[in-house]
Structure 1
Amino acid sequence: MSSSKQILTALMGAAFMLCIALAGEARAQGIAIVSDAETETMLREYSDPVLRAAGIDPQAVKIHLVNDRNLNAFVAAGQQMFFHTGLITTVETPGELIGVIAHETGHMSGGHLVKRREEFEGMAMPVMASMILGVGAIAAGAGDAGMALIMGSQHLAQRSLLAFTREQEASADQAGATFLQRAGLSGQGMLDLFASMRDQELLSASRQDPYARSHPMSGERLASLESRVKESPYFDKPDPPERVHQFKMVQAKLFGFLDEPNVVFRRFPASDTSDYAHYARSVAYHRTGQLDRALTELAPVLKNQPNNPYVWEVQGQIYFESGQVEDAITSYGKAVELKPTDEQLHLGYGRALAARGDEASTRKAIEHLITASKSGNQPYAYFQLSIAYGQLNDIGMAELATAQYYDTLGRVKEAKAHAVRAQRELRQGSPEWLRAQDIAMQPMPERRG
């Protein structure tokens, strides 16, 4: 290899090492976040007792659903938890999902993100120093010695990082087991899932699940976890029937929306008359444009679960996306009546009301869309608000809602531009004008690199 090529290779290796420290931040960008009220409600109900047991305020933790088939979950800065749809559809019991939640709570409680960054930063300087010496040696003609320095520094850094990660994973296991016991929950599910991860290590890399590879489960680590989990007086406590039912309903819905319809029909054949099968097939028929068959499948579920707001929500979505606005309004209205605290149900109801087009319905829609946007976790609520205000020719409020929409998405430049336009239309000094001013005056984020 020529000296110039060796130097280029070395610099590429150095750039790789520098990127490691930023990987956690990059991971939270560009992922496919999706919203589903039923799934997020379940995740919140499973997470809250564990978070409280860890001394973490559940209201301070944001839960995100990621449209990804991989079995994975992770935490990110700002007390955020991310759950892949593949995790929810792959685990076999609520206890297994709660076990993952407990493990990720262990990372959050232990401040592992901060510690990992500190570890990366601590090793960055000596690694870079070795690489610079190696590049210098290559430039001076000692190519073999220079490459040895570079490769050696990378190898040591990799081993150090892997050891540090294994230590954090084991720590999160033990903390998670403690939180489950404090919350009066069994750790059986955690043990079952992590035992299957241990079995994954016996497979070839091409057949392993990504979660198993990123969370190495040695026999020693599993034995330590097993000993801790079985000490709990709640180890033999089963999942309550209502929790199992909720879990299976969520899985059925996700299968219906995410799998190809023919796959759904094979998974839930017509001979399966359970509510879960009807639920999944209803969604699959809706996705293929078969309104009558979708409603026919959903009818027995509504009959058996008349007080389940999320089944009414699905019926509202089916009607709305099929152009049946009046029926959608009725179904969404029932969902909101059954669970008036759920922002996403208000979002669906408001969107349907706005689609009716008359002034009275639009004003009622705005009331529900404002409710849907109260937490600031529903960007689409602001988007719908901008449309509704536009229908009333209230340009100032439409611009403010658009600014809030972009602000929630983190698109500061667009948010500021719409906020400035909103200020021109709103009464100076009004609460709405002040909200626009706050957005317009926020600093632009610093550019990295």
Structure 2
Amino acid sequence: MKLLRPALLTLACLSALPALANDLPSLGDASSSIVSPEQEHQLGRAWLSLLRGQVSQLSDPQLKDYVESSVYRLAETSQLQDRRLEFVLLDSPQLNAFAAPGGIIGVNGGLFIYAQTEAEYASVMAHELAHLSQRHFARGLEAQQRMQLPLMAAMLAGVVAAAAGAGDAGIAAIVSTQAAAIQAQRRFSRQNEQEADRIGIVNLERAGYDPRAMPSMFGRLMRQYRYDQKPPEFLLTHPVSESRIADTTNRAEQYPQGGAQDSLRYQLMRARTQLKFERTPGVEAKRFRAMLSENPEMDAARYGLALAQVKAGQLDEANSSLAPLLTKAPDDITYNLAQIELDITANRLQQAQTRLQRLLQLYPGNYPVRQMHIDLLMEKGETQQAERELDKLVEQRRQDPDIWYQVAEVRGLTGNIVGLHQARAEYFALVGDYDQGIEQLDLAKRRASNFQIASRIDARQKQLIEEKRMVEEMLR
């Protein structure tokens, strides 16, 4: 897997000049004549595969489902016309989020730690959606007519550096060599940031949130990192100033009070994320107990305590922590999945199965519930049934490398060797390793039992070869 070349990062910084627009643009503006929305879509997917191959991601189905559903909720009331979104959740405790052309939304796990309420989290996501809806990358190219598609690829390469808040050593090395250029030219101009703030605030209010959450979070971050020489990556790519806070405050105050500030589900996901980035579960358990001592009704803290206890092997204590939550909300997905996870850990597989069957009846299409069902089938050794369930799930989540990875593992266990190689090929393509993907399809063709299967594999292999060619053009 190639790293993005340092020259591309330099070119990205030198070419990312401000887009000259003060008013909201027409979405059919001149930028579409330089880079069409379809070209953005294709290029964004190719870029995403490069990112996935270089930066560690969080594979937690509940966190992924929350990010996806929350952003789609915001997209419904946004100006975004092309809603073919793809998401990447990065395994980093640092604050960062980004948008790349083609509907790519990236979120560091650390956003859940820094954003104290759902409205604050939504304010960041609404801002990123505004970058997409206003096509800020394409408009940057429109400002310099001589730029062509390869230079847009260079601009996209710069976003990988921002995503390197995940701590990937290879990308971090590239970023260190290009620090001066990155400091000289921000990936988004001040005009674009102001526009994304304005449109984001409108979208926040339309989606039912309190738009005051945006200046509130900006103000807290500025106070916290005012004198910090190494602020979070988000503040480097989205600089916060007094004037920016004043502008967003003035705009937010134009709306009536009463928008949503927070939700229990967000706080549950926040507790889940905090535990993921704490290596010692006892530390988090102590913190959650302290929160409960101050407010015994804080359900998110009780949930976090239960997860910490499961992680520490304190299964009876975890059972006691979950009991009042399930009594209060017996149909809650998050609580029930925690109990199922506890039952599996305690080898109470029949109890886990009974609870899971009820969840499947209540929420038949829910991704985390279906994934837990597959995990339980694997725990019980029912690999044939697990393969059938995975085949159905992957049809709905074909762009999810986590699913393809598990499909390959299960097909290997069931003896479906052709299917194993096909699933590996899809996984490798999604993480940017096209050579491996093409080789896997060669192996699948050799084992194909008939001409029709071999023809389908050959057609898919040709698609991967073409995708590889496009990515190699980006890297030149």
TM-score (norm 1): 0.77
Q: Which moved more, 1:317-326 or 1:248-257?
A: 317-326
Cα 1:300–1:217 shift into 2, 3 Å: same
Equivalent of residue 258 in structure 2, options 232, 237, 260: 237
Cα 1:316–1:155 shift into 2, 3 Å: closer
Superposition deviation, residue 14 in structure 1: 8.3
Q: What residue number does 1:73 align with?
A: 97
Cα 1:406–1:185 shift into 2, 3 Å: same
Superposed CA RMSD in Å reads 3.5
Residues 345-384 of structure 1, C-alpha deviations (whole Å, 9 max, x = no match): 3223123213323xxx333222221222122133233333
For 1:34, what is the secondary structure of its paired residue? coil
Q: Does 1:51 align with 2:70?
A: no
Counterpart-to-counterpart distance in 1, 2:180 and 2:414: 64
Q: What residue number does 2:411 align with?
A: 389
For residues 284-303 of structure 1, the aligned pairs below 5 Å read 284-303=308-327
Code of the residue aligned with 1:383 in structure 2: it is Y
Superposition deviation, residue 176 in structure 1: 1.0
Counterpart-to-counterpart distance in 1, 2:407 and 2:179: 54
Superposition deviation, residue 262 in structure 1: 2.7
Equivalent of residue 433 in structure 2, options 407, 411, 419: 411
For 2:54, what is the secondary structure of its paired residue? coil
Which ranges of structure 1 fall in alignment gaps of 5 or more residues? 1-12, 125-153
Code of the residue aligned with 1:68 in structure 2: it is S
Counterpart-to-counterpart distance in 2, 1:352 and 1:36: 16
For residues 162-177 of structure 1, the aligned pairs below 5 Å read 162=186, 165-177=189-201
Counterpart-to-counterpart distance in 2, 1:397 and 1:163: 42
Bigger relative contact order (CA 8 A; separation at least 6): 2
For 1:269, what is the secondary structure of its paired residue? helix
Q: What residue number does 2:443 align with?
A: 421
Q: Does 1:340 align with 2:364?
A: yes
Q: What residue number does 1:218 align with?
A: 241
For 1:307, what is the secondary structure of its paired residue? coil
Q: What residue number does 1:264 align with?
A: 284
Identity between Structure 1 and Structure 2 (%):
22
Confirm or deny: 8 A CA contact 2:208 2:260 kept in the other structure. no
Q: Does 1:37 align with 2:61?
A: yes
Superposition deviation, residue 119 in structure 1: 6.8
Q: Does 1:349 align with 2:370?
A: no
Confirm or deny: 8 A CA contact 1:403 1:436 kept in the other structure. no
Residues 42-76 of structure 1, C-alpha deviations (whole Å, 9 max, x = no match): 33343224222223258511232222111221112
Counterpart-to-counterpart distance in 2, 1:370 and 1:35: 18
Equivalent of residue 214 in structure 2, options 184, 190, 195: 190
Confirm or deny: 8 A CA contact 2:325 2:335 kept in the other structure. yes
Residues 416-447 of structure 1, C-alpha deviations (whole Å, 9 max, x = no match): 222222233334354x5554233322213454
Counterpart-to-counterpart distance in 2, 1:117 and 1:405: 32
Q: What residue number does 1:20 align with?
A: 13
Confirm or deny: 8 A CA contact 2:306 2:317 kept in the other structure. yes
Q: What residue number does 2:39 align with?
A: none
Counterpart-to-counterpart distance in 2, 1:325 and 1:64: 32
Counterpart-to-counterpart distance in 2, 1:172 and 1:416: 40
Counterpart-to-counterpart distance in 2, 1:343 and 1:435: 28
For 1:82, what is the secondary structure of its paired residue? strand
Cα 1:14–1:439 shift into 2, 3 Å: closer
Q: Which moved more, 1:33-42 or 1:67-76?
A: 33-42
Counterpart-to-counterpart distance in 2, 1:15 and 1:387: 36
Cα 1:382–1:164 shift into 2, 3 Å: closer
Residues 103-141 of structure 1, C-alpha deviations (whole Å, 9 max, x = no match): 1111111212334467799799xxxxxxxxxxxxxxxxx
Residues 11-43 of structure 1, C-alpha deviations (whole Å, 9 max, x = no match): xx9897336369996766522211333333333
Q: What residue number does 1:179 align with?
A: 203
For 2:327, what is the secondary structure of its paired residue? helix
Equivalent of residue 390 in structure 2, options 346, 364, 369: 369
Cα 1:356–1:177 shift into 2, 3 Å: same
Q: Which moved more, 1:93-102 or 1:438-447?
A: 438-447
Confirm or deny: 8 A CA contact 2:74 2:204 kept in the other structure. yes
TM-score (norm 2): 0.73
